[in-house]
Chain A
Amino acid sequence: MLRKLFMKDVILNGKVFLGLLWLFVWVAYAARDLNGAGMATVLGGVAATLMTVTLGAREERFHAAAVSLSLPITRREFVRYRYLAGHLVGVAAFILTCVLMAIVPWSKPTAAQIFDPRTMMFALVAVSLTIAFGLPFVLRFGVVGLFVGLGSLQLIGLATFLLGAAVSGALGIRGVFVACERIIISTHQGLGSAAYAAELLAAVALVTWMSYRVSLWLIERRDL
């Protein structure tokens, strides 16, 4: 069933896959100036997000969700497929990015940097968390729901930031970015330790599973 759903998406949304190619052309062009580890990770997450959002957007645009869910599939299979497909596309985008960066002659990062196991695990974490956050919104509320979710998170972030500024008496916006950078770098470095990597991957698996259960609960209650 999952294979049938994948082929359905390939046939009916092939243009979306083609639309992502510009990302890879840009990667190939920009490889001379890029930090391989960071860019490959970001691109995997971006591709997974775009796929997740765009498939949902196309179904909304054409009112085709009813067609998908009137096929001989269960809603559980539909949700499971969306999670698997999101990971598949995200990981495929990451691998394609790595290969491109490794083979273009003007590439700045070395193959060893690009195919660093820590980077690969970091990419998997980024893709999984992107999907875990975005899919419940897309499946239940459509693309608009996703943007509402993102907007709400931004508002919460802004409120937290302003509260922090009020308490500390200074607008430390640079500090926020520095903190984010530290988290990313320390996570990336931490993945060098097998124990840390195992703990992080277990946490991501747990978050993904919880997100899947939430999506299932939401879509079981969705009226089309």
Chain B
Amino acid sequence: MTPDDAIEVTGLSKRFKGFALKDVSFRLPRGYIGGLIGPNGAGKTTIIKIIMNLVRPDAGAVKVFGLDHRAHEVEVKSRIGFVYDVPGFWGDISLNAHRRALGRFYPRWNDAVFDRLASEFELPVNKHFKALSHGMQTKFALVMALSHDADLLIMDEPTAGLDPLFRRDLLQRLSTLLQDERKSVLFSTHITSDLARVADFITLIRKGEVALSLPKDELLDRWAVARGDAAMLGRIDPAILRGSRRRAFGVEALVSDVNALRRAIGPEAVVDKATLDDVMVLMTAGDAHAA
């Protein structure tokens, strides 16, 4: 880990009944937005819960800002704003009471920021938490996470359940937040279009394992999808073939080097730059190929 890493996850393993996280490693440099993508049940939430020390790993290590997340739990968590996949606040208590009860734990808690964000998000701060819609509950969780000047935001599916307008607004806020180079964001989602807008690094989780982890620009610049007949697959170097699936018209192949692909298959196949959607679908739902 370099001193400039916000998160370094090394060799995480966790076994549950019917599911196992296997040797998960990735890093997020400070000052960047990292996205965890993968289908439901891939293990994204488990990884985030391990980082937050809500789940105990069977093996592996987590460092946040160079500090072991368990040995320096208080310091690490003071610097994290966390948004849960299912916000679990006290249902019969008002949002304002939550602010008073929970804000006191954070040394850099700022009531003025809470008030401003609550107003901008049109949150009814005197209402009970359970009276809010799911989208509003997520907004409240975001306000709590953003009100203590956290150096690292960790968000588990924050955009699920939000309307498109607010999703766009949230992503804009995350980009603005990153203008402060000390701040970093890790968020999981299965809405890949959100990450395409803002993420700097992508980590794809498939069946409890890291299928890929690399800068988004490298992925979008160099990865491609080729569409052609079944014979095309045989001409692609297995070293660059990362996933494929058979369609009615032929096959789709995901490759990690567009130039090598063009050299290999010639002009008869259709080649497009890969989107995050292509990457996720072809690497998780299609026939995945090892790197």
* Residue positions of A touching B, CB distance < 8 A: 4, 7-8, 11-13, 15, 58, 61-67, 69-75, 220-221, 223-224
Contacts and interface: CB of A to CB of B under 8 A. Distances in A.
Interface string B84-122: 101011111100011011101110000000000000000
B56 A220 contact: yes
B146 to A, nearest CB: 15
Contact of A223 (B55, B91, B93, B98): B55
B100 A11 contact: yes
Interface of B: 49, 52-56, 73-75, 77-78, 82, 84, 86, 88-93, 97-98, 100-102, 104-106
A75 B56 CA distance: 12
B55 A62 contact: no
Question: Which secondary structure dominates where chain A touches chain B?
Answer: helix
A54 B54 CA distance: 22
Contacts of A63: 86, 88
A12 B101 contact: yes
Contacts, number: 72
B105 A12 contact: no
Contacts of B53: 69, 75
A8 B101 contact: yes
B89 A70 contact: no
23 contacts: A4-B105, A7-B104, A8-B105, A11-B97, A11-B100, A12-B90, A15-B92, A61-B91, A62-B89, A62-B91, A64-B89, A66-B54, A70-B52, A70-B82, A71-B77, A72-B78, A73-B74, A74-B73, A221-B56, A223-B49, A223-B55, A224-B49, A224-B55
Contact of B74 (A58, A65, A69, A72): A72
Given A72-B77, A74-B73, A67 B89 contact: yes
B56 A70 contact: no
A75 B104 CA distance: 18
B145 to A, nearest CB: 10
A89 B92 CA distance: 22
Contacts of B56: 220-221, 223
Contacts of A7: 101, 104
Contacts of A15: 92
A151 to B, nearest CB: 25
Contact of A11 (B75, B82, B101, B106): B101
A85 to B, nearest CB: 14
